[in-house]
Structure 1
Amino acid sequence: MDEDVRAAIADITAHSAAVDCDDEEEDLSQMFAPLTRAEVCNCIFSTWYPNFRRETIKSEIIKPLEQGFIDYLLADGIMLPDQDDIPQYSCKIEDPESSDSEWSEDENDVEGTVIDIEGTSTEIRRRIEILGGKVMPRMCWSAPKDASWMAMGNSLECRNPSDIYVLLKSSDKVSGDLINGRYLPKEQLGEIEHELVLRQWSNLIPSMEFRCFVRDKKLIAISQIDYEYYEFLENMHDEIETKLHLFFDEHVRDKFPSDNYCYDAYVAQTVNRVYLIDFEPWIPSVDSCLFEWRELVKADGSDKGLGLRLFPKGVNAMGHFSGKYSKNRLPVEATDDQFRGSMAELIKSVAEQTWQQR
């Protein structure tokens, strides 16, 4: 989260007894213990999935990945076959020093590097069939949510390898993980065996997704993830909070090895159960949603902690920005300043509304 956003939230959440105003000037990064490689690796999908198979969505893990597939994901451009059963993909990787050269008028004169990913494509088709014909893709740590606008219906639903390749190659989150590593610099992470995860397609309702914050193995806060007001959630507030605490006590606390972490959970009303979606480490670069990280760090660790925070009535998120990853659709230069300012204003309004209702 941007520093402008942190400042806006800190200004409002100083009302909380859990936050000491004298510490507001303290460098946020100094409030966190150094992140370890083990804590990062605990959040790799294939690390936690075996222990939470019954609590999460059915998934298939393709690992190890062909080097050609990694090269394909990192190659410039999105080259897809005319038919999905064609296994060869041609990608032309440009030399930065020759960027001023003229394009050839004859496409046949453009030589590309042919990357053979036949093995991966075949395996993807097999796993899609196992999962019922529709899947959601992700890599070790990240799902390509920032690229969903590239797909039909702005969805992560994929039915064939081409659908998956469009999302993965369009995602800054995925390419960033492959190039730089996730949460820690690549030199600190060391060698990581990348993986492609296919999750059985589930039409998750955004209003029922929640981020849970765990400190010293205690669930201290829960936040609605979707920046939109839902009246029905107010009536379900206590029920949702109770379900998520019960789920943590029975299925998460003693099974996840880290002491401090965040995880996303989905409350499915139709089957009256909770699904685990993902884990992230306890670091300030992770989105703290409707909380400020200083609140979370300073929380007293009581039974309910900071409780469940919902998006309040009367705040129009669409008036601030059109979607969580809408800035990915435009050049960075055209969106960064506007997005920072809008996000800071939005969360300030959310926090104000929250405290007025208490």
Structure 2
Amino acid sequence: MKEEEVNRCQIQEWYPEFKPVSIKTLIHQLPESFVEYLLDDSGPFLLPLSVSNEDALPNRIHNPYEEEDLQVSEGSGDEAEEPSLPPIFPELELQVKESIESLGGAVFPKMNWSAPKDSAWISTTGTLKCTTFSEIALLFKASDSLVHDLLHAYDSCNDKSLSRPKNFFLALRKWYPSLRPEMEFRCFVKGNQLVGISQREVTTLYPIIEKKNDILLLIQEFFDNHVRGRFESENYTFDVYITKGERVKVVDFNPWGAFTLPLLFTWDELEQILVSEEDEVEFRIVEHQCAVRPGLKTAVPYDYLNCGPGSGWDQFMRNANAELQRQTEFPEADV
């Protein structure tokens, strides 16, 4: 994998081309001061001070103005500690406020490649739904998986020359409360041919089996009409969502291999597929309970884990794949 292939998968790179067939998104370049704020773990956990007085999540984690114990009386022999002041990003906050309002009052935030899925637990709703800049800052500051974007995006590149992208971006995507997780799919493209499709949410059994052939035809037609030849890489993956009206929307693009989850496939399987326009696309969904894969419900990108041969994660995936194959071949043994 090359750096240019990873760069093409940044949302600010692909969204302008695919805007008509994607989720409405507004993108802001992040100031370097905000990037430094996200990476700084030397002090207390502070949320930015709101300039619009709409701080839905005030600095309840650490509020230096209310901590009198930080002050040491004169003559005690100890030096008084200077309280850490919350950072402030007035221009970015006002831009984000305006964008949230124009997107209907609630958004789903992400950076160049990743969303802070691992920190959803800390929000008031337990989701990535955000209505204020402070909620976004909290999710980003608490997320370990965003470290991938900040520090490790090029770790799997065989021509790595960069430690990080030149600029970071905040993408605000319109929030839809009624999205059905079973209707999101990951599509695998090899040699500019669609070779595989996997259900994106593989941790639960959903009753969509009867629609499998219709879904396959919708995605194949969408790829032929809207994606093939427009995304410049030859090998890549893209995620789509199918609406109740059977419209297909691009959700994201990801590199082929590396930190991209293969879901119901393995990368060895996908690499061995021979590219031919005559071959049928392999379409996999969770069709029975024993095919559910709870071990894949992780928001941490592969690059942020030790996935090398012999590692714990490598052994876990080998065991999980072996068990899935056994249960698929002999389902009656687990009834």
Instruction: Give me the whole-angstrom Cα distance separating, in 2, the residues matched to 1:143 and 1:112.
Output: 28
Query: Following the alignment from structure 1 to structure 2, what is the Cα–Cα distance between the partners of residues 283 and 343?
Result: 15
Q: Which residue of 1 aligns with 2:21?
A: 55
Instruction: Tell me which amino acid in the other structure corresponds to 2:100.
Output: I
Q: Cα distance, 1:211 vs. partner? A: 0.8
What is the TM-score when the length of structure 1 is the normalising length? 0.74
Q: Aligned partners of 2:185, 2:143: CA distance in 1, in Å?
A: 23
Residue number in structure 2 paired with 1:244: 219
Q: Relative contact order, CA 8 A, sep 6+: which one is greater?
A: 1
Partner in structure 1 of residue 308 of structure 2:
none
* Count of residues in Structure 1 that have an aligned counterpart in Structure 2: 300
- Mapped contact 1:149–1:155 kept (Cα < 8 A): yes
Counterparts of 1:199 and 1:205, CA distance in 2: 16
What is the TM-score with the length of structure 2 in the denominator?
Answer: 0.78
Q: CA deviation at 1:274?
A: 0.8
Work out whether 1:207 is the aligned partner of 2:182: yes
Counterpart of 1:174, as a letter, is L
Is the contact between residue 87 and residue 116 of structure 1 (CA under 8 Å) also seen in structure 2?
no
Distance 1:216-1:210 versus aligned 2 partners, 3 A rule: same
Aligned to 2:297: 324
Contact 1:78–1:166 (8 Å) recurs in 2: no
- Equivalent-residue separation in structure 2 for 1:113 and 1:340 (angstroms): 43
Q: Distance in 2 between matches of 1:41 and 1:263?
A: 14
Check if 1:188 corresponds to 2:158. no
User: Where do 5+ consecutive residues of structure 2 fail to align?
Assistant: 60-66, 72-80, 306-310
Cα distance between partner residues in 1 of 2:69 and 2:161? 43
Which is helix-richer, 1 or 2?
Answer: 1
1:37 aligns with 2:10: no
Q: Distance in 2 between matches of 1:353 and 1:155?
A: 33
Query: Aligned partners of 1:288, 1:114: CA distance in 2, in Å?
Result: 41
Q: What is the deviation of 1:51?
A: 0.6
Match of 1:46 in 2: 12
User: Per-residue deviation at 1:115?
Assistant: 2.9
Residue 218 of structure 1 corresponds to 193
Structure 1's 261 and 355: CA in aligned 2 closer, same or farther, altered over 3 A?
farther
**CA separation of 1:247 and 1:306: change in aligned 2, threshold 3 A:** closer
Map of 1:139 onto structure 2: 111
Structure 1, residues 141-185: CA drift from partner, whole Å, max 9, x if none? Answer: 111112222223321110001111111111112123213334557
Change (3 A) 1:57 1:86: same
Return the offset for 1:132: 0.8
Could you tell me how far apart the structure 2 residues matched to 1:201 and 1:271 are?
18
* Residue type at the aligned position of 2:31: E
CA distance, structure 2, for counterparts of residue 37 and residue 342 of structure 1: 29
Partners of 1:260 and 1:282 within 8 A in 2: yes
Tell whether the 8 Å contact from 2:100 to 2:131 is kept in structure 1 after alignment: yes
Identity of aligned residues (%): 31
Aligned twin of 2:62: none
The Cα offsets for residues 205-232 of structure 1, whole Å up to 9 and x where unpaired, read as: 2111111100000000001121234352
Seen in structure 2, the aligned counterparts of structure 1 residues 128 and 39 have a Cα distance that, compared at 3 Å, is same
TM-superposed deviation, 1:261: 0.3
- State how far apart, in whole Å, the 1-side matches of 2:258 and 2:156 are: 12
| Deviation of 1:134 (Å) | 0.4
CA RMSD of aligned residues (A): 3.2
Post-superposition shift, 1:74? 1.5
1: CA distance between counterparts of 2:323 and 2:213? 23
1:260-300: CA deviation from partner (whole Å, max 9, x where unpaired): 001111111x2211110111111233211111111111112
Q: CA deviation at 1:79?
A: 1.5
1:54-90 deviations in whole A, cap 9, x for unaligned?
Answer: 1110000002x22221122122253226867359999
Unaligned runs of 5+ in 1: 1-34, 91-103
Q: Given the superposition, is the C-alpha separation of residues 85 and 231 from structure 1 closer, same or farther in structure 2, using an over 3 Å criterion?
A: closer
Q: Quick one: distance in 1 between partners of 2:54 and 2:131? A: 16
How far apart in 1 are the matches of 2:4 and 2:315? 35
What is the DSSP-based 3-state SS (H/G/I as helix, E as strand, rest coil) of the residue aligned with 2:287? coil
Cα contact 1:227–1:317 (8 A) shared by 2: yes
Counterpart Cα distance in 2 of 1:238 and 1:356: 25
